[in-house]
Amino acid sequence: MKKLFLITILLITSVGCRITKSLEMIQAKNNSKLTEEQFIKAKFNAINFLELSNEQKIECEKIWKQEKREFLEINMDDNTLIGPIIYKSEVAFRKILTVKQLEDYKAIGNNDSRVMKYFLDDHALSEIKRIYINK
């Protein structure tokens, strides 16, 4: 009975990780089709609930321009190339947020599909790190 339970848990975890990975890669591929201007505007619109300072907005723009440039330089069919880009961008974005903004981002963003279309929740971030960064 314990073996069956453990196998079930492993299968559920494995499937959940694959679904997360697949959704994030599909979203990244769709986002790569946007122009740089559309991409940046969409990201700002998704997080409009955060009151970013002018300096934070400038930093966000730099991060997202770099992300967009890197998308243009790779084969977007190769998830092993996409994963590190979206991971790096998400980590850099989170680093510029204040503690309060990060709390709001996690509380609101993780429950809002408009935010998750352009950003990663904690689970997706850790899965991408596990799969593509810590190989």
Q: How many CA atoms lie within 13 A of 46 on its CB side?
A: 22
pLDDT at 126: 92
pLDDT at 23: 79
pTM to 2 decimal places: 0.82
Segment 1-43, tens digit of pLDDT: 555 444 444 334 444 444 445 778 888 888 889 999 999 999 9
The domain ranges of the chain are: 2-133
pLDDT at 32: 86
Segment 56-97, tens digit of pLDDT: 999 999 999 999 999 999 999 898 999 999 999 999 999 999
CB atoms within 10 A of CB 5: 9
Please say if the pLDDT value at position 132 is more than 80. yes
pLDDT at 101: 96
As a whole number of angstroms, the distance between CA 95 and CA 74 comes to: 25
Q: Considering only CA atoms, which of 63, 83, 74, 79 is closest in space to residue 127?
A: 83
As a whole number of angstroms, the distance between CA 10 and CA 117 comes to: 27
**DSSP secondary structure letters along 66-83:** HHHHHHHHS-TT-HHHHH
Residue 50 falls in which region: left (phi positive, over 0), alpha (psi -120 to 50) or beta = beta
The answer to whether 64 touches 80, Cβ cutoff 8 Å, is no
